[in-house]
Structure 1
Amino acid sequence: MNRIILPGCLALIVFLVAAFALTPAGLLHRYALQPHGITAERVTGTVMDGRWQGVHWQGRRLGSGAAGLAPLSLLTGQPRLRFSLAGEGVDLAGDFQLSGQTVRLTIGEGRIVPGRFIAASGESAALLNTPVRLRDIDGVFDSTGCVSLSGALSGDPLGALGARAGLELPVLSGELACAGQAAGFGFAGSNSQLTLDGHVRLDGFRAGWRIEVQTEDDALAPALSGLGFSRSGDVWSAEGQSGLRP
């Protein structure tokens, strides 16, 4: 009897695994991703090797990519999707894990162009159109917002501005963190000409920010004034809000 039952069980397991591997990626998208505001213009392939074209989050286009479900993650009740996403202003790869109404996003390395998602004009738009590199991102979000968030970012948004003004401005770096229930990040940079500190809070569909620059170099005055900074002694400051692009 055992000689019959054991091969039968193995055959059933093989059949179930094969059936799962051939499940259309569209089903995964409909039941696991759409409830979290992720849509796509077209989904092809299987849950093990799917392709997503025209990916949008909360109506904002991100690009196109690929994803595959880790089968063993289903045994824990926390499906984990390994993904890559590329488009205009974004190049990311990492894991997307679901646990009830909670989402965990991890990214080893990536790149985004903030100006692709945050509306701005004039010199501010030029600063936001510089790529920002992300590293070791680990964020947990639920229906209330940001639960935990960590990771590093770096970029050179001041480089183009400095080149036009004949100045050498610092590269900026910072850390991601929750700001209450919103996501946010602080950043800083310094060199012999200035020290800069700032923070950004992404709350709903708006980005609130504040930046302070400390410098004794009057050659920076025209550039800082053009960016909307106001001066108090050796400290220049600016703050405001920007809407997210559709």
Structure 2
Amino acid sequence: MFTGLVETIGTVLSYTELDTSSSGGNGVSIVIGDCSSILEDVHLGDSISTNGVCLTVTEFDEAKTQFKVGVAPETLRRTNLGDLTKGSKVNLERAVTSEVRLGGHVVQGHVDTIAAIKSRIPDGNAITFTFQLRDKEYMSYIVEKGFIAVDGTSLTITHVDYDKAEFSIMMVSYTQSKVVMPLKQIDESVNIEVDLTGKLIEKQIEINLANQISNDDSALSKLITKIVEKKIKELVK
């Protein structure tokens, strides 16, 4: 689990495609450096959010200034990690511990989809970014003033356009200097993780409705029966 508060910006030192004979076949291996400040208490097997994607550390260099991760094909399909090249900058955050203050929101590091940057408009010393989702079905989890993780950064949604599958956030000057998004151009992609709360509520409603519909004695089934009987009587008249 993560907070969406980026700790440092790392640099991709190498990006190697793996063939089918290698472990994790058809995925990639990435080495990330310029991040010694967060590696002191990280161990092999620990998780680091990389542009919002929860990845497992598989190797360090001797001085512990860089780390290596493997990225599976499914992760490449879901995220923008396939766009990385040597020299790319990435947001990094270690998994939370019991001592960490939750300053952002609960972020799993399980990216749902990607979005394209459609506009970036200065507003004083802040910037308003507008994004368009690749997969429109995730718009149902995006609400004004709700949380969202963009490239692993916890942000507040300021505007939503459901018809265009677009949403906006405002990034203050302090955050601009701490994350990679201001370095990106129009139409470049970002990783999107919607707030888990909306997914949990939706699933609970689905399960509850399914259980009530399958139970003839439930309040919902009785209500539906009553409505149907009333409509039949009206048609018979």
TM-score between the two structures when normalised by the length of structure 1: 0.23
Query: Which is strand-richer, 1 or 2?
Result: 1
TM-score between the two structures when normalised by the length of structure 2: 0.24
Q: Select the structure with the greater relative contact order (CA < 8 A; seq sep ≥ 6).
A: 2
